[in-house]
Structure 1
Amino acid sequence: MNQTLRYIAIGAIVAAVAAVAWFWQQNDGVCAAGGAPAICVPEQIILYGNVDVRQVNLGFKVSGRVDQVLVEEGDRVTQGQKLATLEKPDFADDVALAQAQSDGSAAALKQLENGARPQEIAQALALVEERQATVENARRTVQRRSELAEDGFTAHQAHEDAEAALLEAEARLRSAIETLKLVKAGPRQEEIARARAAHTADAASLSLAKRRLKDAELYAPNEGTVLTRVREPGAIVQAGEPILNLSLNSPVWVRTYVEEPQLGFITPGMTATVQTDSGGAYEGQVGFISPVAEFTPKTVETRELRTRLVYRVRVIVDGDDDGLRQGMPVTVVLVPKGAVAGAAAD
């Protein structure tokens, strides 16, 4: 009986030691006592996630017929590299038409701003002098016919006709004088403003036509790899319709999730190590921690994990060498501040 009790006591001690060892294995870290319960800082936090590489659908800003697609699927491209073009004759004709309209409105505006030429002023002045001579001749005619009518050598009707001709000549003289004043004064400011507005509109149309011509060429927004050629030469596409699908090389993100008890040990900017199942290791940093809790993603199949609330964390990887691919499962190792550094993930 005593031997049995001895075995039971030994078994209880072994179980207690194993429980303590398991506890420290799960909560390995540094504990700091305070007024509240002790705060244990884990040596490291191990998270599991997937690589999240950004992709972008590339398309033209204008509609047209595809002329060339200059890259193949799998090609590496650099920022600013030409990837595809549309047929350009229609866009070039639009530029030529807009250029002609802009040149015409510019000439009209310059004509108004410069005012009348010296020759035009001289012409108006000559007309005034001509009309003055006509008036003088009409006055002499009236005078002669008035004397002849008084002496009875001509009819009074001829005298009245001469007076009417004099009035007409004087009116034409006044018209020529006013015309000379208008020529010297130049165009009205409202006419100049209207011509300037018309030229501004034509210049904007020209700029738009040139931009549309430039938009007939598609360039890579960043370094990356061509995933898919969506359209081929000869296809008629609408503005914004995808032509190529590009996977961007930088930045590469890792999407992972952390439970609330570990949330207090993770801060934006802290260093992270991203490990792949093939043995690759990459340095990075925590870039984003979601402020909103969510249920564990459905890709986690255990019932226990599905019912837990977690927070999404984005880790930005530095210096990727193509070892990280879209959707690849990875392990993220974080060392909280105050923990004992040097532990490695199993």
Structure 2
Amino acid sequence: MSEALQPEQIAPAGSPPEGDNSGKDTAGNPKNGKKKRRAMLTLLVLIAVCGVVGVRWWIKGKTHIETDNAFVEADVIQVSPRVGGTVARVLVSDNQYVKQGELLLELDQNDYRVQVARAEAGVGVATNETGGEYRKAEAARASVQLAGARLDQAVLDQQRAEALFKREVISREQLDRLRTAQRVAQSQFREAEESLKRALAEAGLSSDGPNRAKVLQQQAQLDQARLQLSYTRVTAPTSGYITRKNVEPGANVQAGQPLMAVVPLQKAWITANYKESQLTHIRSGQQVEFRVDAYPGQRFSGRVDSIMAGTGAAFSLLPPENATGNYVKVVQRIPVKILIDSNSDPRHLLRVGMSVIPTVLVDRTTADVLGDLNPFR
């Protein structure tokens, strides 16, 4: 009979065989240590990458000043007639591109042609009247010469009478008559001179030569009538796009009444409202890159033209009165005018009022930005 089994030789059911380590703690496994070191290294790399990216993003924020409070603006030139009348023709439509000097609309010219004809007739009448007044002046000049001759003769007669009276050849009565005749001739001479002056004044003559006052007056009225006739043709004040057209043929318009507007998009600019804390390093002439919501993915360029003399709130209709009541500090925004490079928008895609995100490339390097962190400088 076989020997009885020892207690230590009897293994309980389901126990692992001798020499099997699968049931031991796996904390000391070399593979798990490698995994931990690899995860730690990966975490450190991610932290380093995030730090580098964060620093670069922070530096870019200091050298690329950006805002989303910006819009496209342009001059809006109102087109108004300089004279009133009935609209005869309208040659443009909304959103049409026109060149400077191109005819936009035309008023009825009949009334103004009549005024021109009347002014031309006035010039002719003034010319004829001036000719007649010239003749009157010549007649007055001849009268002066005649009165002068009579005066000379009267003076001679008086002198002879004085000599004859001394020799008692003539009586005192005859001498008195000759003296009276001399005074009458002198008065007639003065009257003729005054008549000549009046005739010269009526004819518009002076010592410097002819001054055709009446003719010039009528000529000025003729020029004015012709000018008003030319105002019946309303032309484009500048090259641009027609907008807000509110006139049609047959309408009766008045002088100065807005009929349409011309927007020169080729001269558009951007008004960017930067925070006052962002203007530290923005200067005129710096390059600008901007994006437009209407054209995603397309980049435009420009340059800083000028910075407004005050904040937008300071020039508002009701500026704030910070000296009264409770004061709450609010970050102010200052408009910056940015000119658009014509090469970046050759087709004039930008329209007035479009939202823009401009980025000003300030003249600062990475060393300048990092130098601001030095507390001992």
* TM-score interval (norm. to shorter): 0.5 to 0.7
Provide the C-alpha distance between the structure 2 equivalents of 1:60 and 1:51, rounded to a whole number of angstroms: 29
What residue in structure 1 maps to residue 65 of structure 2? 45
**Structure 2 partner of 1:57:** 78
Is the aligned partner of 1:89 residue 2:110?
yes
Between the aligned residues of both structures, percent identity stands at: 22
Partners of 2:66 and 2:357 within 8 A in 1:
yes
- Is the contact made by 1:273 and 1:282 (CA closer than 8 Å) also made in structure 2? yes
RMSD: 4.7
* Letter aligned with residue 199 of structure 2: P
CA distance in structure 2 between the partners assigned to 1:181 and 1:308 by the alignment: 85
Which amino acid counterpart does residue 308 of structure 2 have in structure 1? Answer: S
- SS at structure 2 position matched to 1:95: helix
CA drift of 1:231 comes to: 0.8
Identify the residue that residue 99 of structure 1 maps to in structure 2. 120
The C-alpha deviation readout for 1:108-164, integer Å capped at 9, x for no partner, is: 4566568744x88779989999xx9xxxxxxxxxxxxxxxxxxxxxxxxxxxxxxxx
CA distance in 2: counterparts of 1:56 and 1:178, whole angstroms? 66
Sort the Cα spacing of 1:259 and 1:21 in 2 relative to 1 into closer, same or farther, 3 A: farther
Residue pairs, 1:76-155, within 5 angstroms: 76-109=97-130, 116-117=137-138
Partner of 2:232: 216
Partner of 2:311: 293
**Matched residues in 1 for 2:55 and 2:127: separation?**
84
The whole-number CA distance in structure 1 between the counterparts of 2:94 and 2:335 is 32
Matched-pair contact (CA < 8 Å) for 1:52–1:326: yes
| TM-score (norm. length: structure 2) | 0.59
Match of 2:364 in 1: 338
Question: Partners of 2:309 and 2:50 in 1: how far apart?
Answer: 35
Q: 1:197 to 1:126 in 2, by over 3 A?
A: closer
Structure 2 residue 223 is matched with structure 1 residue 187: no
Quote how far apart the aligned CAs of 1:73 are. 2.0
Pair 1:220–1:128, CA change in 2 (3 A): same
Deviating more after overlay: 68-77 vs 45-54: 45-54
> CA 1:316–1:114 in structure 2 vs 1: closer, same or farther (change >3 Å)?
farther
The residue aligned with 1:75 is 96
Task: Assess if the C-alpha contact under 8 Å between 1:76 and 1:223 holds in 2.
Answer: yes
Q: For 1:230-282, what per-residue CA distance to the aligned partner results, in whole angstroms no more than 9, with x for missing partners?
A: 11011001111122232222211112121222202211222222333433333
Greater strand share, structure number: 1
Q: Which residue of 2 aligns with 1:317?
A: 340
Output the CA distance in 1 between the equivalents of 2:54 and 2:120. Answer: 80
Which of these two proteins has the greater Rg computed from alpha carbons? 2
Partner of 2:300: 282
Whole-Å separation in 1 of the counterparts to 2:332 and 2:91 = 48
What's the offset of the Cα at 1:205?
Answer: 2.8
Structure 1: give runs of 5+ residues left out of the alignment: 1-5, 30-39, 133-168, 296-305, 341-346
CA distance in 2, matches of 1:67, 1:331: 46
- TM normalised by structure 1 equals 0.63
- Structure 1 CA distance for aligned equivalents of residues 99 and 284 of structure 2: 30
List aligned pairs for 1:132-281, cutoff 5 A: 187-189=199-201, 192=205, 198-276=214-292, 277-281=295-299
Q: Go from structure 1 to structure 2 and tell me whether the alpha carbon gap of 1:77 and 1:271 turns closer, same or farther (over 3 Å shift).
A: same
Quick one: structure 1 residues 242 and 123, their matched pair in 2 at CA, closer, same or farther if it must change by over 3 Å? same
